[in-house]
Every structure is written in C-alpha cells, then in structure tokens.
Amino acid sequence: MSGRQRTLFQTWGPSLVRGAGAGVGSQARSPAVAEAPQEEDDDEVLLVAAYEAERQLDPEDGGFCAAAGAVWIYPTNCPVRDYQLHISRTALFCNTLVCLPTGLGKTFIAAVVMYNFYRWFPSGKVVFMAPTKPLVTQQMEACFHVMGIPQSHMAEMTGSTQAVSRKDIWCSKRVLFLTPQVMVNDLTREACPAARIKCLVVDEAHKALGNYAYCQVVRELVKYTTHFRILALSATPGSDIKAVQQVITNLLIGKIELRSEDSPDILPYSHERRVEKLVVPLGEELGAIQKTYIQILETFASPLIQRNVLMKRDIPNLTKYQVILARDQFRKNPSPNIVGIQQGIIEGEFAICISLYHGYELLQQMGMRSLYFFLSGIMDGTKGMTRARNELGRNEDFMKLYNHLESVFAHVRDPSAIDASAFKKGNKEKNFFYSHPKLKKLEEVIIEHFRSWNAKNTTGKKCLETRVMIFSSFRDSVEEIAEMLLQHQPVIRVMTFVGHASGKNTKGFTQKEQLEVVRQFRDGGYNTLVSTCVGEEGLDIGEVDLIICFDAQKSPIRLIQRMGRTGRRRQGRIVVILSEGREERTYNQSQSNKRNIYKAISGNRQVLHFYQGSPRMVPEKINPELHKMFITHGVYEPEKSRSVQRKSLSSRRD
C-alpha cells in the first residue's frame, strides 16, 4: 500500500458517507477500481467499498453492511499472535468469555472485535463497560492505540457526566466507554438507543454475579433486542464452578476461550512468574493474644450455640462468613419458640459475634494493630455500635485485652486518615512495633530484593530500576506496612494506594489522586506501592518485578489479579506470606478451586451449561474473510485537553 496509510475509521464514517461528493462515489462505481495499480493494493479497494456500504444496508439483517462485511480486519501494526487472532475470530461470531492472564492482550482482542462491528454496522453503537472510572479512561485510550478509532467517534461516560449530556452523546457518538451503572440508568430512562447496540464488551466480567450492574444491563438490553454480540473479558472466569456458571448465564455466554500460564500457545509471549509460599508461625506474643481472644469469642458465641441457632460448635475454627450464614438462616426460619423481644436479643448477639469474628480474622492475618483500630472504632462510638460497645465493655477479659492493645498502639495516628503528604515528606515512624511476625518476614523479602537487584544492576540507569507492589486487603494494614518501609528510605520509596472513602470516618483517594499515584509509580517517583484491592484490577501500573501478597483470599480471582501485575516484560516473582494455620488452609483451598475451574472448562465432561441463543450477527449468506492490515493512529488527547480545546473554539466563534 502507498505511504498514506490510513485506518478505515479515518477514511469512513457516517458523516463522511452522507457528505461524500461524486469523487469517491464515482470511484466506487468504476470497474477500474478492482484492478487498481500495484502500489494501491487491496486495502484501498476496501476503503472505496466502505463508502458504498451505507447505501446497501438491509434492514432485515439488522443494519449489517454487506460490502464492509465481506472481510474482517486484523491489525498487523503489533506482532501477530496466533492465540489473539484465533480468539478474535471466535468472538466475532459467538458471545464469548475471554480468560487470559493479565498482560496478554484482552483489551487488544476487544479493540479488534469492536472495530469490526463498527465497520459492519454503520448505524450501530459499540459499548465498552468497565467497573471503575480510571479503567474506563484507560481502556478508551488503549483501544485508540490498537485500532486507531478516531476520538471524534468515541466518548467516555461515567456518573459525573450529566444525564442531559449523556443523551446527546448517545445520539452523536458510535463507540461508548462507560461504567455499567451509567448504562443501567440510561437504559431505564430510555436515553440509550438500546436497539442500535450491536456489540457490548464487559471488562472484569467475573463481577457479573447476582444483581451487579453488568447483569442488569444485559437483562434490560434483551427487552429491546437480542441482536447484539457480547464479549466478556477477565483474567479468571470465577471463584468456583458455581460462580463461573452464573457469569455464563448472566452474560449469555456461548463459548469460553480460556488460557492459563501453561497454555502452549501463550508460552512464547509470557515471562516466567515464580510463586513462593512463605508460612509464618504466629509466635508467642500473638499466640497468647489469640488464646485470650478465643475465650472472649466463647463467651459471646455460646448463647447462640445453646439456643441452637449457631450449629457449628468449633468456636476457634468458625469464620465470620459462617456466622453470617447462620444469622440469615435464623431470619428465614426462626423457631416458633423464639418470639418478640427474644428475636431482638438474638439479632444483637449475632451482630456482636460477626464483629468479633471479623476482629479474629484481622488478628490472625494482619496483626494486633489492625485488630486494635477495628475494636477502637467500636469502643469510641465511631462505628455507632452502641449495644456491642456496652456488652463488650462489661466483659472483663475483653477490657483487659483492649486496654493492653491501647497501651501499645494508642500513640499511633488514626490509619483511616491516610495522608499522602506523610509519604511525600518521608516522615518516619519512631520505634516501629511489629504487630505480626508476617511484617518482619515481608520486610526481609523486600530488603533482600532491593539489595540483590542493586548488586546486579550497577549502571544506575532509570530504565533498570525495579518496582515492588504489596497487596493487603485492609487499609489499616496498608498504612502499617508503609510506615514500616519508611524506615528504609531512600532505597525503598514507598506510597500507599487505596480506593475512595468508604464512609464518613475514612479518607480515601479521589480518582485524580489514584491516577497521579499510578503515574508516579510507573515513572519511578516511587519504587514500592502498598495497595488494597483497588490495585488488583486492570489499571496499567507498568512493569513490576516483585509482588507480595500479605494475605490470602478464599477466591482465586484475587490472587490471579494480583499475579497479573508482574511478569509482563521480564521475569516476575510473587511471594505469598501466610500465617500458619487457618490462613494457610484458606490459600490451599483457593488453589484447589482454581485447578477445579480449569479442569471443568478444558475437560471433556460437560459441567457448564452455555447459552445456545448466541446470535451470528453476520447474515448466513456472508462469511467474512480475514484481512490483515497495518493500522496507524494519531496522537491521543486526554478528555480534559479536548474539553479545553472545544471551549477555546467556542469562545473564538463568540
């Protein structure tokens, strides 16, 4: 093809078709085009055919353009990977759940599918849904860079976009990137032209459980039309077989394309990720605290056991989740002997037990400090649990334990008020108290990592700097880990990364602050990021050499998401630090669940039930052929700079 390489998006759109003069139209009608000179190869023929497309739309085919539909385009500006090509082809013709390890091109596949549906349905809409605002922004830019979709044809919509503006955007734009709740609201208000949606991409699709907004979107859409393609993306299909089946059912999935780290077709494109499990004993001090805490649990759980509303009697091995299930069962099927005021008493006992078991899990996984901050929220009234505070305050064993924890940690500032400035200024916590033996082990792993890395890389080049990411599920623990690592500046430059505020007494990061932290971490301002689960999903944080998981989750999803942060461009290492006992058992169960899911999907036995009504979308008489094409794109302009430009142009007109 000639040097003026373009994308189909850059040369063809509804506005151009309507305003096309005789020039291109006459070209399209001329038989000479089919025998174009060699330097103007068949890519140019495709561009000419596109102009004719809109005149040839057949309403019976749902607006499908026969001329554009003769081929499907696959980009060659990135190295062609067979697994991506195969999955893209599958996703064009069947509702597909794509499960690829993080960093292996799920967004690339989505961009290819979206691009082709844009071409095939000139009057249709293509929608990409992501669960958070930062992800929506990131995915819009990523799709631009893959397929060169012009920004004038795309729009981003989140909860901060006014409803009136969204209605206009739905009318004027063709490729929409948004959060699912916005989509639900616009479908309910009939602001969204549902019948014109031809392709729906669902990012982080494992979330499509219960009544999550993704599920609501699909339920609303099928009221208007069943003629749309669904492409679901996730690093993992679900936490267990039951959850995977829910995702399949809720998203109308007809096929799963699953690849694991060991799949032969992705091995050439993935770097080794070494996973190490470090099991840490609780130690004498924490063991003594745990023993006292179990006595307190026995005091408050025993009345529920005696009333036969809490059936499991192994108090040390009960979990918060099991207590919640028992309470739900009590509410559904209360005993006829328990009436009136007794029901209220039992509800109160359940509430205290659920809180205490949450504290028990914090103690085992995170340590004494996290337990103290949780309990102090009850005892100082900030959590509003008046009855629990009164009951606990009357228990001698509890007050003795609480007073002991207070004497150790009362001087530590409230971790719920996470202050980024403390880390920027490099404030150090004096006489840091290691409230769990896992903290000491984590510190050892990180110090050794930086020591060995610096010994191997003596050039001092910024591009050779290493980065570390630490995950912990709770903000209190994130703050504690960061304070510990501040002792090791300037070798370790640490920053925390948390989500939005979860209540009036907690301070979180705004979207702007989150993106700024990610940018500084990617650019080398910090080399260590301590994150809650907000850092697990999707966001492009750059290359990370070491991932440390400070806790274990029963769902394999969390670990898979965390692992995906490393091993993208070079070998990565993942260290999982576990408390001996329950947490280690939880981790082992999680790994077993993961293996069972992969066996169920890849095995011959039909365990999962797929949606049988997946529309072909392409008319039966047409079979689009693969056409590989080099795609070029312009410079991406963030939404804010484009808004400034629009205002500037508007003021000039005035």
- pLDDT tens for residues 197-240? 999 999 999 999 999 999 999 999 999 999 999 999 998 888 88
Tell me the pLDDT band of 181, cut-offs 50, 70 and 90.
very high
Whole-number Å distance between alpha carbons of 371 and 365: 10
pLDDT tops 60 at residue 47: no
Name the residue with higher pLDDT: 361 or 240.
361
Asked if pLDDT for residue 25 goes beyond 50, the answer is no
Q: Is 127 strand, coil or helix? A: strand
Q: Which two tokens stand for residue 342?
A: 């007794």
Please tell me the predicted confidence (pLDDT) of residue 44: 55
**Whole-number mean pLDDT of the chain?**
82
Query: In 3-state terms, what secondary structure has residue 273?
Result: strand
Task: Count the alpha carbons within 13 Å of 205 in the hemisphere toward its beta carbon.
Answer: 33
Closest CA to 110 of 119, 121, 97, 101: 97
**Interior angle at CA 38, CA 37 and CA 42, nearest 5:** 90
Backbone angles phi, psi at 183, to 5 degrees: -60, -45
Q: Which amino acid, one-letter code, is at 600?
A: A
- Where is average pLDDT lowest: 2-6, 190-194, 195-199? 2-6
DSSP 574-625: EEEEEETTHHHHHHHHHHHHHHHHHHHHHSSS--S---S-----S-TT--PE
Distance from C-alpha of 595 to C-alpha of 333, rounded to nearest angstrom? 36
Q: What is the pLDDT of residue 460?
A: 57
Which pTM does this prediction carry? 0.71
Please tell me the distance from the alpha carbon of residue 362 to that of residue 379, in angstroms, as a whole number. 17
Upper half-sphere CA count for residue 218 (Cβ side, 13 Å): 23
CB 110 within 8 A of CB 104: no
Task: Judge contact between 239 and 554, C-beta under 8 A.
Answer: yes
Tens of pLDDT, residues 27-36: 333 333 333 3
- Is the Cβ–Cβ distance between 63 and 617 less than 8 Å? no
Which residues is 73 bridged to in the sheet? 627
CA-based nearest residue to 615, from 62, 56, 86: 62
Which residues sit opposite 97 in a β-bridge? 232, 256
For the chain, what percent of residues have pLDDT higher than 70? 79
Distance (Å, whole) CA 119 – CA 64: 9
Assess whether pLDDT exceeds 50 at residue 298: yes
Nearby residues of 605 by Cβ (< 8 Å), 6 or more positions away? none
Buried b (16+ CB within 10 A) or exposed e, 20-33: eeeebeebbeeeee
Q: Closest Cα to residue 327, out of 357, 296, 295, 349? A: 349
Q: Determine phi and psi for 95, rounding to 5 degrees.
A: -60, 120
Q: Which spans in 276-395 are helix H? A: 283-306, 320-332, 341-365, 368-379, 386-393
3 state DSSP class of 552: coil
pLDDT band at 99 (very low <50, low <70, confident <90, very high): very high
- Range 345-363 average pLDDT: 94
Query: How confident is the model over 322-344, as a mean pLDDT?
Result: 87
Q: Is the dihedral of CA 428, 518, 418, 439 positive or negative?
A: negative
Class of residue 150 by CB neighbours under 10 A (exposed 0-12, middle 13-18, buried 19+)? middle
**Confidence (pLDDT) at 461:** 58
Highest mean pLDDT among 167-176, 308-317, 332-341, 643-652: 167-176
